[in-house]
């Protein structure tokens, strides 16, 4: 099976590499050409445009930063849609709003192709280790056909029904994750201000009901206020908060905590922390 992969950032480069290692014939494209080199060295083919990727592939995957970036590689004469034809598949693994996914599905259908939205839960290390959680929705035929691909990328794959459901599920997941991380930052700051040892607080947390891998990974970074290398860039989390609040507006659901946390993340962005890991929000707390 010929697989196309578009978007070789923190997540996409690791995911495309896993597909090459998995024995798939992979064609790649990225806006920044320097990302091509490691994959070309592994045996991936380099294409000149997203359209060329889709033309050369049975299934094309995109992994972009936001809805604007998705549209940039999807639309126009050099975009993915222009390279699709009947029987081909398009999987967008970006975290976007449901409206973007629904529009992509409509465009793919007009081209006679199948569409699946499949955002992931996980950051750099799970992408590298192929232990992502993948939330898929859209064409069941394409889901069944692409399952060997998805299983090469993740450890947990769910099919959620019609297009839009996976985008909504991913946003719900991310506001819980972000809220939990923010609570950790506040708790650690309170402990420090009260003269307590933050490392001991992390021990207490890890021994109780809120023990989780994210606290074990991010807690020491927050305690030491190191450089926060981006496993999940803060600017992308703020984008997800913004999309979640827009979805909440659409469905009439108040999100009191998320709205407040979004203001903290906006302050962190304004302070130049956008390219750091989202745990760097601790610096404004």
Closest by Cα among 77, 65, 62 to 3: 62
Euclidean distance between CA atoms 83 and 86, whole angstroms: 10
Active site residue 156: no
Handedness of CA 65, 71, 77, 81 (dihedral sign): positive
β-pairing, 114-117 with 132-138?
antiparallel
Helix (H), strand (E), coil (C) string for 109-132? HHCCCEEEECCEECCHHHHHHCCE
Residue 254 CA: distances (Å) to CA of 177, 243, 246: 18, 14, 11
Q: Supply angle C-alpha 95, 98, 99, rounded to 5.
A: 120
Q: Are 248 and 258 in contact (CB under 8 A)?
A: yes
If one counts every other C-beta atom within 10 angstroms of the C-beta of residue 263, the result is 11
Which listed residue (170, 218, 235, 239) is catalytic?
170
Where do we find the tokens 């909440």?
248
Burial (CB count within 10 angstroms: exposed 0-12, middle 13-18, buried 19+), residue 272: exposed
3-state secondary structure at position 209: coil
Q: Annotated active-site positions, please?
A: 170
């Amino acid at each position: 099976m010929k697989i196309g992969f578009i978007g070789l950032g923190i997540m996409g480069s690791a995911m495309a590499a896993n597909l090459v290692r998995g024995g798939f014939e992979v064609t790649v494209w990225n806006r920044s050409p320097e990302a091509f080199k490691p994959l070309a060295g592994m045996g991936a083919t380099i294409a000149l445009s997203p359209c060329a990727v889709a033309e050369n592939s049975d299934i094309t995957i995109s992994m972009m930063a936001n809805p604007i970036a998705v549209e940039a590689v999807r639309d126009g004469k050099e975009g993915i849609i222009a390279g699709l034809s009947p029987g081909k598949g398009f999987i967008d693994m970006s975290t976007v709003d449901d409206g973007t996914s629904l529009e992509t599905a409509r465009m793919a259908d007009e081209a006679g192709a199948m569409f699946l939205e499949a955002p992931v839960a996980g950051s750099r290390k799970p992408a590298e280790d192929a232990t992502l959680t993948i939330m898929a929705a859209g064409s069941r035929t394409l889901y069944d056909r692409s399952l060997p691909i998805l299983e090469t990328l993740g450890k947990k794959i769910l099919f959620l029904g019609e297009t839009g459901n996976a985008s909504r599920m991913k946003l719900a997941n991310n506001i819980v994750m972000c809220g939990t991380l923010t609570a950790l930052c506040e708790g650690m700051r309170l402990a420090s201000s009260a003269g307590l040892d933050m490392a001991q607080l992390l021990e207490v947390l890890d021994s109780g009901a809120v023990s989780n891998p994210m606290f074990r990974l991010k807690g020491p970074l927050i305690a030491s206020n190191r450089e926060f290398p981006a496993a999940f860039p803060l600017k992308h989390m703020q984008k997800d908060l913004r999309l979640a609040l827009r979805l909440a507006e659409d469905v009439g659901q108040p999100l009191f905590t998320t709205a407040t946390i979004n203001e903290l993340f906006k302050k962190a962005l304004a302070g130049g922390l956008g390219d750091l890991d989202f745990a760097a929000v601790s610096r404004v707390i």
